[in-house]
Amino acid sequence: MTVKIVEVSTSSELLKQVFQSIDAKSCPTCFNFHMHTVYSDGRLQPSALMEQAINIGLKGLAITDHHCISGYQAAQSWLENWRWNNPGATTPHLWSGVEINAHLLDIEVHILGYAFNPEHSSMKPYIQRKITAGEEYQAANVIAAIQKAGGLAVLAHPARYRRSHFELIPAAAKAGIDGVETFYAYNNPNPWKPSAIESMQVQKLASECGLLNTCGTDTHGLNLLQRL
C-alpha cells in the first residue's frame, strides 16, 4: 500500500507540472484531460481511445467518465499490454480520471479528479456510477476526497453553468479546488479550438485565484479531436 501511495503522489506532482505549462495550443494534439468512453456517456471503447491517443501523438491524457473509473482501468490494461508488445515505443502518460457532479453556489457543477489513487477509501462514493447526495454531494467534500486520494481537483468547463464563471471560480477556489478547465471549446467548432473569450476570462480568474490551468476536448463521440 505504501508503494502505491508513493506512486500516486509522484504521478500527481508530474501532472501538476504539466498543468503549469498548459496553454491554448496544448489541446488536442499534445495533451487532453477530458474524454469519455462507453463506460459512461461516450461512444469510444477504451482500446480505440488509446489507439487514437497514440496515433495523434498525445504526451498525456486522462479518461474522465462520469462517476466511473472502469474506462480508465480498461485503457490502463490495454496500454500496458501495448507497451509490452511494442518495446521502446513512445506512449502517452495515462493518469487516473473521473468527472463528478457536485453542489456549488446552489447549482450543480462538474468536478474533474486526476492522478488519484483509485483504491483510496475517500473515492469510493464517487466511482459507483451514480451521483451522490447529502454531504458527499457538496463541492468542498468532493474536492477534499480527491485530494485525500493524492489527486488534483479541477472545475470542469466553468463557463457552461447557470451561474457565471466570475462567481463560480472564486467560490471553487475558496472550497479548495486545484485548477480550472481553462481551455475549452464551448461552441464545438471543427476543427477543435478553445473558445477565445471564455478561455481568456477563465485564465485571468485562475491567475487571480492561484489556480492551475487544464484543457480537454470533452470527447463523447468517436474522435478525440472533437467533443461530439
pLDDT per residue over 54-82, tens digit each? 999 999 999 999 999 999 999 999 999 99
CA–CA dist 217, 185 (Å, integer): 7
Structure confidence at residue 3 as a pLDDT band (50, 70, 90): very low
Query: Number of folded domains in the chain?
Result: 1
Would 95 be classed as within a structural domain?
yes
pLDDT at 9: 55
Would 9 be classed as within a structural domain?
yes
Would 221 be classed as within a structural domain?
no
Instruction: Please give the C-alpha separations between residue 116 and each of 108, 164, 228, in angstroms, as whole numbers.
Output: 22, 28, 27
Would 87 be classed as within a structural domain?
yes
Would 225 be classed as within a structural domain?
no
- Provide the mean pLDDT of the chain: 95
Q: Is the pLDDT of residue 142 over 80?
A: yes
Q: Which residues span the domain enclosing 198?
A: 2-215
pLDDT at 10: 80
pLDDT, tens only, 104-119: 999 999 999 999 999 9
| Cβ–Cβ < 8 Å for 3, 185 | no
Sign of the dihedral defined by the CA atoms of residues 168, 32, 71, 120, in that order = negative
Would 81 be classed as within a structural domain?
yes
pLDDT at 6: 40
Q: At what angle do helices 70-85 and 46-56 cross, to 10 degrees?
A: 50
Q: Name the burial class of residue 50, with classes exposed (0-12), middle (13-18) and buried (19+) by CB atoms within 10 angstroms of its CB.
A: buried
Task: Provide, rounded to the nearest whole percent, the portion of the chain with pLDDT above 90.
Answer: 95
pTM to 2 decimal places: 0.95
Structure confidence at residue 148 as a pLDDT band (50, 70, 90): very high
Structure confidence at residue 46 as a pLDDT band (50, 70, 90): very high
Q: Name the burial class of residue 90, with classes exposed (0-12), middle (13-18) and buried (19+) by CB atoms within 10 angstroms of its CB.
A: exposed
CA–CA dist 181, 94 (Å, integer): 18
pLDDT at 98: 99
pLDDT at 160: 98
- Residue 15, Ramachandran bin (φ over 0: left; ψ between -120 and 50: alpha; else beta): alpha
Would 226 be classed as within a structural domain?
no
Would 98 be classed as within a structural domain?
yes
pLDDT, tens only, 150-206: 999 999 999 999 999 999 999 999 999 999 999 999 999 999 999 999 999 999 999
Q: Name the burial class of residue 43, with classes exposed (0-12), middle (13-18) and buried (19+) by CB atoms within 10 angstroms of its CB.
A: middle
Question: Which is more confidently placed, 8 or 168?
Answer: 168
pLDDT at 4: 43
